[in-house]
A and B are shown apart, each in its own frame.
Chain A
Amino acid sequence: MKKLSAIFTAVLLSAALSACAEKKSFTEPDGKLDSCSIRFSWWGGDDRHEATLKAIDLWNEKHPDINIIPEYGGWDGWTEKLSSQINGGTAPDIMQINYDWLVSFSGGNKFYDLGKLKNFLDLSGYDEDILSFGENNNILNAVTVSVSGRGLFYNSDVYKSFGAEYPHTWNELLALGDKFDDNGVYPIDLDIQSGGTAWYLAVVYVQQKTGREFITMDGKLGFSEEDIKTALDFYKQLEDNHVIRNVRSRTDEDGNAALYQSPEFISGKVAGILEWGSSVGKYEMSLPEGILEAGPMLTDDSGNSDGWLIKPSMLYAISAETQYPDESAAFMNFLLNDEECADILGTTRGIPASSYAEKSLEKNGKLKGLALENHTMLEQINTFTISPYMELAKMKEFYNEAVESVSYNTSDTAAAAKKMYDSINEYLEKIKK
């Protein structure tokens, strides 16, 4: 019996150890399209879901042998879901990924080298610069779907009812609070949930003021402790001037619900948002058509508009463990370049980075709407490209912690800035070891 137990324990331990260091198989492309089913996952709002499902129907009509299984949902919890799939070896064949996931996941070769799939993936419609967003150690792991930045969007009905103009400068934004004061209505809203727009706008403000990047592309903290304090002071000023709800009011009014689903946004109590041009559709759908309008990118009083951030709003990647690399590449090509598909998807993922898809939208008169307005405004100013390190989940935790403590007055801006500065430096050092 003792012998049996010893053998059993040995088998268990070796199985446990081997699982921890498991290496998955890699399938080489064979240059032909076989009959199969492949999984495609994405996050988004209803507008994106509906359009993507229609695009999949079109693909299935054209390629009945290659069945696409859709997996989709909202942004909240999506990172956790996908990271457990990737770590557990059950990742979908094709994934819509966020920019920071290239840093999070590429180190372990979780994404396929797309350079090997050029038989089916046509990247001739891309600028080299845009393609480079998806590279990791000179290997193309993902292809940018669209380049986007966050901009301010306003509920035009509410603004008209207050006789208010959309702000052009930071000072005009701060002054708006007076116009909306005592009515329980706020000119804009910033959150500390998954979007983390509170810290984002404060970063833009300081980047414009100092010309320094918050986090550099190689993952170093570009802001000084004083810069972080300035950003937190600016945030606090927005709250004190009645420009945004404080964290306490927002939490009590919305609970844990996303802003675009909250009664405050739908009823117009919150009359403005800061959102990605590629994702503004979900807010647009919550209001009557044409109510949400894009506002100008804020500048300082001298007209300096630097500091606004852009990034590949999302990318498509193929799992390194897919058994169907060619078929996945063919479907990705369809999503990125196909004229009919582009027509169906419209701007639900922003303005397409592929020139083929963009031309198709232009030709069919679909290159319009808030995503385009936001895209055009960003093209006219000197933007900074977001470092993928800025969007890591743990980093967002540091930002939100600081904003929350300043808002609840459990910490002054100097102490919160010091804590954030130290935490970020320590974390960046740890992950780059």
Chain B
Amino acid sequence: MKKKYNNPVGVENYTGLLLIMPFVVGFVLFTLYPFVCSFILGLTDCDGINETDFIGFENYSHMFSDEDFLKSSAVTFRYALILVPLKLIFSLLTALLLSAEIKGIGIFRTAFYIPSILGSNLAIVIMWQFLFTSDGLVNQLLEIIGFAPVGWYSQPVPAMFIIVLLRLWEFGSTMIIFLNALKDIPKEYYDAAKTDGCNSIKSFFHITLPLLKKAIFLNLILQTVSAFQEFNAPYMLTGGGPEKNTLTIGMLIYNEMFRYSDIGYANAVSWVLFVVIAVITALMFKVVKNN
């Protein structure tokens, strides 16, 4: 006989709906509502102060002639292209090292995760700033080993390097995803490969990497999205300089929104960023699906 359960809230048809309401309300209020509002604002010349006029897609067409938008788009793509592969490779290599079953490995795993907990908070960024000033520790070390000091903040490539390095340093979450995926690979595969005379490198390329596909894809998506939204690190470290060579789209949106009060334009740029991220993510899904 089928067992009957009592409905705890007494509204049978809507129980499920009721249970997901906290999420739905939160989503509608804090995601969907700002999302819709942002699109509408992007079609206006709203500056938060004067009468707002509807200007159609003028903000969008302005982007094609806006030097700052074009430059920040190039900077953001460049940044994502450098950071994401580097971070994935670095996290994977560290995860491989930390997956070894040796005594006290938990301490190392925790230690490697600490930078991600600290994040790019103010104290860390101030420390980072002083590391790379002309008399900073990094230049002092370079001089000791016989290299000329580098102008880290005044040249486009080193300035970008500092930001990439700060983010690379926070590789903990990416590493944890790899570490968990590595643990899920049955040991028998490696034993069998070893019996067949397969060395560690071959095992890595023929067993580990294929079985990490899902973890790699997940990390790739997460890191790409986060790289395209980068704001904190360039804002605090370089201020977007030198000559806007580290000005990301995230910083441009912030400047237009809060510094110049061009709310309409800032929202239009946000939507372009959203569409770019959505398209890139969709392309990644398509490529993975086809493979």
Given A15-B33, A253-B134, A394-B259, do A83 and B48 touch, yes or no (CB 8 Å)?
A: yes
Stretch in B109-117, B200-208, B239-247, B276-284 with 4+ CB within 8 Å of A: B239-247
Stretch in B73-81, B151-159, B190-198 with 4+ CB within 8 Å of A: B151-159
Cα of A16 to Cα of B37 in the assembled complex, Å: 5
- Mask for B227-270, Cβ within 8 A of A = 1, else 0? 00000000011110111000000000011001111010000000
- Mask for B130-142, Cβ within 8 A of A = 1, else 0? 1011110000000
Given A12-B33, A87-B263, do A108 and B49 touch, yes or no (CB 8 Å)?
A: yes
Q: Residues of B contacting A13 with CB < 8 Å?
A: 36, 40
Q: Residues of A contacting B49 with CB < 8 Å?
A: 87, 104-105, 107-108, 110
Nearest CB on A from B243, distance (A):
6
Q: Residues of A contacting B243 with CB < 8 Å?
A: 401, 404-405, 408, 410
> Is A252 in contact with B33, judged by CB distance below 8 angstroms?
no
> Is B37 in contact with A253, judged by CB distance below 8 angstroms?
no
Interface assignment of B160: CB less than 8 Å from any CB of chain A: no
Q: Residues of A contacting B91 with CB < 8 Å?
A: none
> Is B258 in contact with A248, judged by CB distance below 8 angstroms?
no
Cα of A16 to Cα of B132 in the assembled complex, Å: 45
Given A87-B48, A107-B50, A405-B243, do A256 and B237 touch, yes or no (CB 8 Å)?
A: yes
Q: Residues of A contacting B33 with CB < 8 Å?
A: 12, 15-16
Cα of A401 to Cα of B242 in the assembled complex, Å: 10
> Is B154 in contact with A255, judged by CB distance below 8 angstroms?
no
Cα of A252 to Cα of B131 in the assembled complex, Å: 11
Nearest CB on A from B42, distance (A):
11
Interface assignment of A251: CB less than 8 Å from any CB of chain B: yes
Nearest CB on B from A376, distance (A):
35
Question: Number of residues in B with C-beta < 8 Å to the partner?
Answer: 37
Nearest CB on A from B172, distance (A):
25
> Is A20 in contact with B238, judged by CB distance below 8 angstroms?
no
> Is A248 in contact with B44, judged by CB distance below 8 angstroms?
no
Interface assignment of A6: CB less than 8 Å from any CB of chain B: no
Given A20-B41, A80-B259, A394-B260, do A86 and B48 touch, yes or no (CB 8 Å)?
A: yes
Interface assignment of B272: CB less than 8 Å from any CB of chain A: no
Among residues of A, the one whose C-beta sits closest to the C-beta of B263 is: A87
Q: Residues of A contacting B242 with CB < 8 Å?
A: 247-248, 251, 404, 408
Among residues of B, the one whose C-beta sits closest to the C-beta of A262 is: B133
Given A12-B28, A12-B32, A405-B243, do A257 and B260 touch, yes or no (CB 8 Å)?
A: no
Interface assignment of A84: CB less than 8 Å from any CB of chain B: yes
Cα of A80 to Cα of B235 in the assembled complex, Å: 13
Among residues of B, the one whose C-beta sits closest to the C-beta of A77 is: B258
Interface assignment of B15: CB less than 8 Å from any CB of chain A: no
Given A12-B36, A248-B154, A256-B129, do A84 and B50 touch, yes or no (CB 8 Å)?
A: no
Interface centre among B134, B151, B238 (most CB of A within 10 A): B134
Nearest CB on A from B71, distance (A):
11
Question: Number of residues in A with C-beta < 8 Å to the partner?
Answer: 39
Among residues of A, the one whose C-beta sits closest to the C-beta of B126 is: A257
Given A107-B50, A404-B241, A404-B243, do A253 and B130 touch, yes or no (CB 8 Å)?
A: no
A-B contact count (CB 8 A): 98
Cα of A186 to Cα of B135 in the assembled complex, Å: 17
Nearest CB on B from A307, distance (A):
28
Nearest CB on A from B189, distance (A):
48
Interface assignment of B52: CB less than 8 Å from any CB of chain A: yes
Interface assignment of B212: CB less than 8 Å from any CB of chain A: no
Partner of A17, one of B28, B40, B236, B255: B40
Q: Residues of B contacting A408 with CB < 8 Å?
A: 154, 242-243
> Is B133 in contact with A20, judged by CB distance below 8 angstroms?
no
Interface assignment of A79: CB less than 8 Å from any CB of chain B: yes
Q: Residues of A contacting B154 with CB < 8 Å?
A: 247-249, 251-252, 408
Residues of B in contact with A (beta carbons under 8 Å apart): 28, 32-33, 36-37, 40-41, 44, 46, 48-50, 52, 129-130, 132-135, 151-154, 236-239, 241-243, 254-255, 258-261, 263
Top 7 closest pairs, chain A to chain B, by CB? A108-B49, A87-B48, A80-B258, A255-B129, A248-B154, A16-B37, A252-B134
25 of the cross-chain contacts (CB-CB < 8 Å) are: A15-B33, A16-B33, A17-B40, A20-B44, A21-B52, A79-B258, A83-B48, A83-B258, A83-B259, A87-B261, A108-B48, A108-B50, A248-B154, A251-B242, A252-B134, A252-B151, A253-B133, A253-B135, A255-B153, A256-B236, A394-B260, A397-B255, A404-B241, A404-B243, A408-B242
Residues of A in contact with B (beta carbons under 8 Å apart): 12-13, 15-17, 19-21, 79-80, 83-84, 86-87, 104-105, 107-108, 110, 193, 247-249, 251-257, 263, 393-394, 397, 401, 404-405, 408, 410
| Given A255-B130, A255-B153, A397-B259: 10 more A-B contacts, CB < 8 Å | A20-B37, A79-B258, A80-B258, A83-B259, A84-B258, A108-B49, A248-B242, A255-B129, A256-B237, A397-B255
